[in-house]
Amino acid sequence: MERLLCSMGMETCYHPEQRSLDIDPTRIRWPEAPYDLVRKMRASFFVLGPLIGRHRRARVSMPGGCAIGARPVNIHLKSLECLGVNITVEHGYVIADASQMRGGLVNLEFPSVGATENVICAAVLARGETCIENAAREPEVADLADFLIAGGACIEGHGTSTIRIQGVERLRTEAYSVIPDRIEAGTYLAAGALCGGAIRVCGCRARDLTAFLADLRLTGCEISVESDGNLDNIILKRSSPIQPVTEIVTLPYPGFPTDLQAQMMAVLCLAEGTSIVRETIFENRFMHVSELNRMGADISINGNTAIVRGVKHLSGSPVMASDLRASAALVISGLVAQGTTEVLRVYHLDRGYERIEEKLAGLGARISRVKIHPSSTVR
């Protein structure tokens, strides 16, 4: 993402000691996001809304990223057209002309996080009022709104299904601390649930993981929360066998997050009984199933439903990561598998986790990163 911003002429500077990133957007030379960068990460497409708002025009490549389904961008484009943005698609690029942009009513056919965020970023600098109905309620959407409000935007209702935005002339520069990554926190909790024993995940927000924690408790885990100001420490303990869960259904927030489905399925592979996992968000998000089965899991798929029959143990084997969350599921499965597990294509993993192998090793895992040209392996 940083390379993408710099390709437009922005200046960035990362400070690893402070874990902060400075971004200077005053020198943008051209509002274009090229294919070579956008294809590597779907979130790159989220520059469309901000470019439209700030520059009234944009040329952004159609996105790439994880192979978890079609995830069409039509909902993004239709929503921006509700604000008077003229959009055409030519040669794989979305070309937007927002010279006549104005506030308007946007009724999302699905509470898409990305579409909600793109509309917010465009509407904060549009003339008049914008109302987004059926908006995504994910914590990341609310955090984006809080960031924009800190810079002078006028937004109400973020965190609910109706968001109202009154356009302003300009935004000012502000320092801002983003919320913790709830999916990263959930992944480490899933690892603790799978391996047993006790784990403390620090600096997260338990309120963002309510549905996930409820289902983890059903597996037999004891979970408690220590509040530390605005952040929490979540303590998970498991000393008894993993129990099956009757049904887990992925839903938009505040339901069970699709981004934790693969990790939860890894936990259920060792449950004492049969569990059902139903995926309602992405039509192709069971690509990790075949790899888990290679490790000895007993999972069958019927449409958007996976039937997970618990087994006694998993066996280490070479497996291939197909997407970001599948990578995480395979890594945490390797922690309990008998023998050595090799996870290939971990470049997917690095888009969502910072030094995951170091953090797991700090808990006693025998895990290391081995560079093998032209791909990488986590073993």
List, for residues 157-173, the tens digit of each pLDDT value: 999 999 999 999 999 98
Calculate the alpha carbon distances from 249 to 87, 240, 260 in Å.
Answer: 35, 24, 11
Q: Could you tell me which residue, 136 or 370, shows the higher pLDDT?
A: 136
In a domain, residue 150? The reply is yes
Question: Over the stretch 66-117, which tens digit does the pLDDT of each residue have?
Answer: 443 445 688 999 999 999 999 999 988 999 999 999 999 999 999 999 999 9
What angle in degrees, to the nearest 10, is found between the helix axes of 261-268 and 324-336? 20
Who contacts 169 (Cβ-Cβ below 8 Å, separation ≥6)? 125
Whether residue 227 sits in one domain with residue 347: yes
312 and 341, same domain (yes or no): yes
How far CA 75 is from CA of 55, 61, 100, 117, 163, in Å, comes to: 22, 16, 20, 12, 17
Q: Do 309 and 333 belong together in one domain?
A: yes
297 and 336 in contact (C-beta within 8 Å)? no
Residues 113 and 248 in one domain: no
Same domain, 199 and 95: no
Domain tally, the chain: 2
Asked which of 112, 142, 166 is the last residue of a domain, the reply is: 166
Average of per-residue pLDDT values in the chain: 93
**C-alpha to C-alpha distance for 96 and 86, rounded to whole angstroms:** 6
Query: Do 127 and 186 lie in a common domain?
Result: no
Report if residue 229 sits inside a domain.
Answer: yes
**What's the pLDDT at 64?**
58
Q: Which of 66, 204, 221, 269 is catalytic?
A: 66
At 53, is the secondary structure helix, strand, or coil?
helix
DSSP state letter for 127: B
Sole residue written with tokens 């197909």? 322
Q: Are 163 and 156 within 8 A, CB to CB?
A: yes
Catalytic site residue 6? Answer: no
Domain's final residue, options 166, 198, 230: 166
Considering the domain architecture, whether residues 220 and 345 belong to the same structural domain is answered as yes
pLDDT band at 228 (very low <50, low <70, confident <90, very high): confident
How much is the average pLDDT of 212-225? 98
Range of the domain at 225: 182-378
Domain presence at residue 17: yes
Is 252 part of a structural domain of the chain?
A: yes
d(CA 148, CA 144): 6
Place of tokens 């069958």: 300
Query: Looking at the structure, do residues 156 and 248 belong to the same domain, yes or no?
Result: no
pLDDT greater at residue 378 or residue 355:
355
Query: Is 194 found in the same domain as 109?
Result: no
CB 135 within 8 A of CB 111: yes
Of 261, 241, 374, 375, residue with least CA distance to 326: 261
Residue 171 lies in a domain: no
160 and 229 share a domain?
no
How far is 363 from 170, CA to CA, in rounded Å? 47
The reply to whether 173 falls in a domain is no
Q: Which amino acid is at 12?
A: T
Q: Is residue 175 part of a domain?
A: no
Is the model's pLDDT at 146 over the cut of 70?
yes
Last residue of a domain, one of 166, 197, 223: 166
Question: What's the average model confidence in pLDDT over 125-142?
Answer: 98
Q: Which residue blocks in the chain are alpha helix, DSSP H?
A: 2-7, 35-38, 48-55, 74-81, 113-123, 139-150, 182-195, 210-218, 261-268, 288-294, 324-336, 356-361
Same-domain check for residues 143 and 215: no
CATH classification at residue 137: 3.65.10.10
| 53 and 146 together in one domain | yes
**Does the residue 172 lie in any domain?**
no
